[in-house]
Amino acid sequence: MSYLTLALAKGRTAEASINLLANAGIHFSHLNEDSRKLVFYDDDSMIRLIFVKAVDVPTYVENGAADVGIVGKDNIIEEQPDIYELLDLEFGQCHFAVAGFSGTNLHKDGTLTVASKYPTAAEKHFNRQGIPIETIKLNGSVELAPVIGLADVIVDIVETGGTLRENGLTILEEMEAISTRLIVNKASFTTKSERVHTFINTLKKGWNDVS
Ligand SMILES: Nc1ncnc2c1ncn2[C@@H]1O[C@H](COP(=O)(O)OP(=O)(O)OP(=O)(O)O)[C@@H](O)[C@H]1O
Ligand SMILES: O=P(O)(O)OC[C@H]1O[C@H](OP(=O)(O)OP(=O)(O)O)[C@H](O)[C@@H]1O
């Protein structure tokens, strides 16, 4: 039997994902935090785990390089991959928000400048309201943008609100709730239907056992 390939987001949700898999009885040999290895195998469940940057998980799954993926809804909203989203795993909870200095006018004359790691999500949000924007793509420390005068506002993830507070910013508009999701390649869902369903049911069992 061939391996079912699972793409897992590196970064802050990786540990919770690994714990969920372990709880479901899926263990990868030689997996430890210090390792630089990117591919791991579990020969009992016949699952091959690949570690990729969170933003790249939808690409791997959409193209069939991975059959299934575990990734934040933020990256699904941003990348808009043609995949199935089958489970809300309920960890990595946070939300998207428009943020800036208190009192910032989002309906100002002219174009609002919006800095974000998520330019597509920002465009969609403001388009729905008929507000013209110019997006400035950043890759981190997004809260700096209004502080330093690079943009009027930001669209970013807010979890505790601590980063906004410490930089003198506030939420101007709440957006979508974000959490970690299980996604599946459309072809794999059909051609490897039994394997995919077995994996999902195993994962659900591990998940019910912890929750
Ligand atoms: N406070 C938070 N900040 C960022 N992401 C969070 C937070 N809470 C939960 N998440 C989730 O964790 C996922 C991974 O976040 P992480 O910051 O590790 O990845 P990243 O954005 O690719 O980071 P980097 O570009 O800094 O490597 C996000 O896609 C999001 O779904
Ligand atoms: O509401 P909080 O609990 O403060 O969390 C939100 C912050 O966390 C994320 O940044 P991250 O730590 O991923 O760093 P980054 O600046 O590299 O994106 C996000 O982009 C916010 O800056």
Q: What is the ipTM of this complex?
A: 0.95
What are the structure tokens assigned to 77, written together? 């909203």
Q: Is the pLDDT of residue 135 over 80?
A: yes
Atom number in ligand 2 closest to CA 162: 4
Q: Is the pLDDT of residue 166 over 70?
A: yes
Mean pLDDT of the 182-211 span: 90
pLDDT at 31: 81
Kindly state the DSSP code that residue 155 receives in the 8-state scheme.
E
pLDDT at 108: 87
Q: Is the pLDDT of residue 158 over 70?
A: yes
pLDDT at 159: 98
Sign of the four-CA dihedral 167, 173, 175, 177:
positive
The region of weakest confidence among 12-16, 32-36, 145-149 is: 32-36
Mean pLDDT of the 138-150 span: 98
Q: Is the pLDDT of residue 95 over 70?
A: yes
94-177 CATH: 3.40.190.10
User: Nearest Cα to 180, choosing from 99, 85, 51?
Assistant: 85
pLDDT at 211: 57
Mean pLDDT of the 134-163 span: 98
Q: How far is the CA of 56 from the centre of ligand 2 (A)?
A: 18
Mean pLDDT of the 11-26 span: 94
Mean pLDDT of the 193-207 span: 91
Q: What are 35-62's pLDDT values in tens digits?
A: 788 999 999 999 999 999 999 999 999 9
Which residues contact ligand 1 via a Cβ below 6 A? 9, 11-13, 53-55, 72, 74-75, 92, 94, 140, 157, 159, 178
What are the structure tokens assigned to 35, written together? 């390792």
Residue type, 185: N
Q: How far is the CA of 84 from the centre of ligand 1 (A)?
A: 21
Q: Is the pLDDT of residue 209 over 70?
A: no
Mean pLDDT of the 7-29 span: 93
Give the right CATH number for 4-92+179-210 from 3.40.190.10, 3.30.1300.10, 3.20.20.70, 3.50.50.60: 3.40.190.10
What is the rounded average pLDDT for all residues in the chain? 95
What are the structure tokens assigned to 23, written together? 């709880």
Q: Cβ neighbours of residue 102 under 8 Å, at least 6 residues apart?
A: 170
Residue type, 199: F
**Which ligand neighbours the alpha carbon of 77 most closely?**
1
Mutate to test the pocket of ligand 2, among 159, 160, 165, 171 (most ligand atoms within 8 A of CB): 159
Is residue 207 within 8 Å of residue 86, measured between CB atoms? no
Q: How far is the CA of 170 from the centre of ligand 2 (A)?
A: 14
- Residue of the nearest CA to atom 4 in ligand 1? 157
Atom number in ligand 1 closest to CA 179: 31
Residues of each domain in the chain carrying CATH 3.40.190.10: 4-92+179-210, 94-177
Mean pLDDT of the 109-130 span: 96
